[in-house]
Amino acid sequence: MSNRNLAGKKDGSSGDAVDRSDAFSKALASTDNPRAILELFEKVDASNPKPEDLATFRQLLRERRELWEVAGDAAALAISRMVSAINAQRSVKESMQAGVEAIRDDLGYERAPMLEKLLIEQAAVCWLRMYLVDTAYTHNMKGSLTPAQGAYWERRLSTVQDRYLRAIETLARVRRLMRPVPVQVNIGAQQINRVEAASSE
């Protein structure tokens, strides 16, 4: 993850101009006070955020489900677009959808908290993209291609493979961070194991 804050500015920068990403703008546009939410993002992303700002923002993430739904909708749209773009019979397209659902199940979607659900959706989208590009790559490599076309397909396959690996790594990293870790606490002569969140990657 980059060191830029959520608004796109480097840490410590000041000024009124906000360089928001289009995706983030869309997420904010679904709320009734996007400017306030953005300002809160910036406070939370500062080097020493105030505890009250962190608490407020945590509450905001819990209450503003539309921020999460934008991501869920984006994932569903990407999958729908990929499946509809396939030039194949309906049964093949349905098997693609089933494959995506199997990936979600394998990654524990049903029991996962909200953030992990999004990361699992992202991984499933990247998996489907990789599968389709790999299929097209294999098909095209059987025919005669110019060196430029061959290099194009090699680059495409490499890109989608990297994207899928990064999605899986991010899911694993967040799970590791958020997973409670048993901590041994000594009170007097007694040794007690207490469960706390993980401290670092």
199-67-60-49 Cα dihedral, nearest 10 degrees = 50
Nearest distance, CB of residue 160 and other proteins, angstroms: 9
Residue 102 or 197: the one with the smaller Cβ distance to other proteins is 197
Alpha-carbon distance 132 to 151, whole Å? 18
Closest of 131, 170, 136 to residue 153, by C-alpha: 136
**Residue 68 vs 109, nearer CB to other proteins:** 68
In the complex, least distance from residue 173 CB atom to other proteins, rounded to whole angstroms: 7
Burial label for 152, CB within 10 Å (0-12, 13-18, 19+), is middle
> How is residue 68 written in tokens?
């999460």
State the minimum distance, in angstroms, from the CB of residue 45 to other proteins: 6
Closest CB to other proteins among residues 92, 198: 198
Whose Cβ is closer to other proteins: residue 92's or residue 185's? Answer: 185
Spatial separation of the C-alpha atoms in residues 160 and 167, rounded to whole Å: 11
| Nearer to other proteins among residue 77 and residue 88 (C-beta) | 77
Q: Which is nearer to other proteins, 14 or 84 (CB)?
A: 84
Q: By three-state DSSP, how is residue 22 classified?
A: helix
For residue 14, the minimal CB distance to other proteins (Å) is 19
The nearest distance, CB 101 to other proteins, in angstroms, is: 17
Q: What secondary structure does DSSP assign to 25-81, as a single string?
A: HHHHHTSS-HHHHHHHHHHHTSSS--HHHHHHHHHHHHH-HHHHHHHHHHHHHHHHH
Q: At what angle do helices 34-44 and 51-63 cross, to 10 degrees?
A: 130
Which spans of this chain sit near other proteins (rule: CB under 8 A)? Answer: 1, 3, 6, 21-24, 26-27, 41, 44-45, 47, 49, 54-55, 57-58, 61, 67-68, 70-71, 74-75, 77-78, 81-82, 85, 115, 118-119, 121-122, 125-126, 129, 156, 163, 167, 170, 173-174, 177-178, 183, 185-188, 194, 196-201
- Min dist CB 94 to other proteins, Å, is 19
